[in-house]
Structure 1
């Protein structure tokens, strides 16, 4: 049985939309500059980011793979949609863009021996920006798909995952599959990929005679958090990046399980460049160098995303299939 719970505010929509559209086809994802960063009172990393920005050393092998035009220019122009913590968002005063994606962009530019030119864009505009040459690459939570591979090249840098989060003192065990959520009260976004996964799992459970999931929907993040903390809900299920950040900042929730964003298939997030531009070989080599020297892992640790780390960057791996 679905339990529909609605409130008047729209905070949750603004929070989740940029991440949910990360898997959308180019040109179809909607993201507005009005969708601000999550309203989290404390930011444990932005000051550290300013005081001690993470930097990396030149990777000569990766630099040598750069297209001649970018070498001569000496800059790496990166597009980024700064609207979702902890991936990318404006720090105090809307002056500086901080987050895991901008931090990775800086490390990548350093490794390539280039100066970073980070430019804010919207989700809807990044495909045209890359194809037109306005940006050398986009680093903005873009998932590899087979459709996108027709127009873009990819160097992977993070797993695309969804997370189950419970109250920090919850007695629930690890969630590995459908049977673990039978009979649970779960907060999920309506019309999202995670709802689709839960509906599939619920159907499996019912077919086996297990208790159904109680779906709960909120349009207000405060109401959602209150439901979880008061015990009216057992779990939330959504993009792991935002769940991990909130858990790190507030300390009121904990991770119980991860699910691939493309379930039942796995999916990866990647640096995105124009198809055939010649940049992808250099970016893949640079990311693998960052993984080897440990600076890549430091970025994910700083932003609470260690659970999404990859062991090696891949060039144009299999992507999510066309719908």
Structure 2
């Protein structure tokens, strides 16, 4: 793998975030201050076989149009004061572009805008660490490259002695729902074990879970494993984090329009090629994502959880 400050596929970003502070002046204001990771691209030549799977318009254009999040460390983000799109997913997309012999044109937007843009053919693929949810399959296809597991974060002193998921039963956690109902998953475990249910607390709009934890509004906070590790490295006040395998895992990936099977096949083929040449494994090591390893990248990869609906996986 080649690491450099100027990747093979140059990025032309439409917008740049210079700092991602949780809240000005707070003790956690620098929680999103990023570490200076070098950008990565594979030392590989384009695959003519995979490139031939692309529609002619993309091959002729010579660019991969990418829309997606820029504010989700450590998956995809801009380090403070730079225009360097970095993170596990950013490195992976650079690898995909290299294998397909394309440059990247990146437009940093929200996840909702990404789904709309992919379906309007404004973007070839969307990035944003998208969960493969059954409801989402109605609008986009997930090119699954990672398994996301979850964890619990508590204050550094761990006053309630939380060392496994069931230890959080009876404590206060942030109200959750929608894609990942962490609180619901916790209470299902508590009920199964005959333990008191966790109290679901509704915090003020815009209050981050870490801030709610620090202020004492909640006792435990659920977070994805990758972000959990990231916060452990960059937060300016120590936290105690544990992995919660009981919650299960969900496939995460890039998205493409449902009827653009040519794009899906080319991108999935590129991800599998990156596995074969060892680049994927090197990214896993670089970002310390070993528990998230997906040995079988696939279209609409599945889930392993009792706590939300299992999507229909297409091999």
Do both proteins adopt the same fold according to a TM-score greater than 0.5, normalized to the shorter chain?
yes
- Aligned to 2:189, which of 198, 201, 225? 201
TM-superposition CA deviations, 1:113-141 (whole Å, max 9, x none): 11111221122211221011110000111
Within the alignment, does 1:239 sit opposite 2:224 as a pair?
Answer: yes
Whether contact under 8 Å (1:37, 1:83) holds in the other structure is no
Provide Cα deviations, 1:244-301, integer angstroms capped at 9, x if missing partner: 11123359345422347xx56x421111111121111111111112123222233343
CA distance 1:212–1:132, change in 2 (3 Å): closer
Match of residue 143 from structure 1: 131
SS in 2 for 1:118: strand
Conserved 8 A contact 1:45-1:303: no
Pick the aligned partner of 1:104 from 92, 115, 136.
Answer: 92
Superposed CA offset, 1:143-199 (max 9, x none)? 112233233222111113221235668696863x54x5446x46x322341112122
> Which residue number in structure 2 is paired with residue 274 of structure 1?
257
- Matched residue, 2:142: 154
What are structure 2's unaligned runs of at least 5 residues? Answer: 1-16, 23-29, 304-308
User: Contact between 2:41 and 2:91, CA under 8 Å: does it hold in 1?
Assistant: yes
CA separation of 1:182/1:154 partners in 2, compared to 1, >3 Å: closer, same or farther? closer
Secondary structure, counterpart of 2:128 in structure 1:
coil
Match of 1:301 in 2: 285
Match of 1:66 among 30, 45, 54: 54
- Unaligned runs of at least 5 residues, structure 1: 1-32
Aligned Cα RMSD in Å? 3.4
Q: 1:41 to 1:63 in 2, by over 3 A?
A: closer
87-96 or 267-276, which moves further after superposition? 87-96
The answer on 1:284 being equivalent to 2:271 is no
Aligned pairs (5 A) from 1:71-220 = 71-93=59-81, 95-166=83-154, 175=164, 178=166, 180-182=167-169, 185=171, 188-192=173-177, 193-205=181-193, 208=194, 210=195, 213=198, 219=207
Give the corresponding residue for 1:25. Answer: none
Q: Could you say which structure has the higher helix fraction?
A: 1
Q: TM-score, normalised by structure 2?
A: 0.72
Contact 2:169 2:187 in 1 (8 A): no
Q: Which residue of 2 aligns with 1:257?
A: 243
Q: CA deviation at 1:216?
A: 6.7
Q: Determine the C-alpha separation between the residues in 1 that align with 2:189 and 2:155.
A: 22
Partners of 2:243 and 2:96 in 1: CA distance: 30
SS in 1 for 2:112: coil
* Structure 2 CA distance for aligned equivalents of residues 133 and 35 of structure 1: 30
CA contact (8 A) 2:18 2:79 kept: no
Greater RCO, 1 or 2 (C-alpha within 8 Å, sep 6+): 1
Change (3 A) 1:106 1:135: same
| Residues 55, 189 of structure 1: alpha-carbon distance in 2 compared, 3 angstrom cutoff | farther
